[in-house]
């Protein structure tokens, strides 16, 4: 059995300094609390399968702090990264918990929260010379959910075309 927590949205851009408590709570509800609630509900079923897998979708903003106005989003995704590692310890050996961390992927998310100029700049900053595609993220998620990743637990796959080599 597999659970993929893939919700993600900055909701709206604002600095942390100017972020209202209401917006902060909406961003956390979308990007963190939803994953917590669904995961908590799924744990008994995943444990019972004896070979469950959870894959959480983080964001490159965990490394960068987010683009201008995406600090609350980055904070929520950073907390989801910590939750991923915590679950990897708490649920093993019955359930493996891993994460993907997409960089700039050409999705509706970036159409709404970015600009064509920024997307072009990201493309130029990426050693592979392009932005990512949704199917590339999906392939990594399928791998982490599969038996081929049976010895991965608490792992993080960066999907950013080398843009942020560590």
Tokens of 151: 């010895």
Instruction: Report whether the peptide linkage leading into residue 121 is cis, meaning its omega lies within 30 degrees of zero.
Output: no
Tokens of 86: 């915590």
Alpha carbons 7 and 58: distance in angstroms, whole number? 9
Task: Cite the active site residues.
Answer: 73
Report residue 104 CA to chain centroid gap: 12
Give me the residues paired with residue 5 across strands: 56
Tokens of 4: 């993929």
Locus of tokens 């902060």: 24
């Amino acid at each position: 059995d597999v659970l993929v927590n893939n919700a993600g949205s900055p909701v709206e851009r604002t600095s942390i300094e100017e972020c209202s408590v209401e917006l902060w709570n909406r961003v956390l509800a979308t990007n963190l609390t939803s994953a917590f609630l669904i995961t908590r509900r799924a744990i008994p079923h995943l444990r019972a399968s004896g070979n469950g897998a959870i894959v959480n979708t983080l964001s490159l903003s965990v490394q960068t702090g987010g683009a201008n106005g995406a600090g609350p989003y980055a904070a929520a995704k950073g907390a989801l990264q910590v939750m991923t590692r915590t679950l990897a310890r708490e649920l093993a050996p019955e359930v493996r918990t891993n994460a993907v961390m997409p960089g700039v992927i050409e999705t509706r998310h970036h159409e709404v929260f970015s600009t064509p100029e920024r997307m072009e700049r990201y493309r130029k900053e990426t050693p592979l010379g392009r932005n990512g595609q949704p199917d590339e993220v999906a392939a990594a998620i399928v791998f982490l959910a599969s038996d081929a990743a049976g010895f991965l637990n608490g792992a993080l796959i960066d999907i950013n075309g080398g843009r942020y080599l560590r």
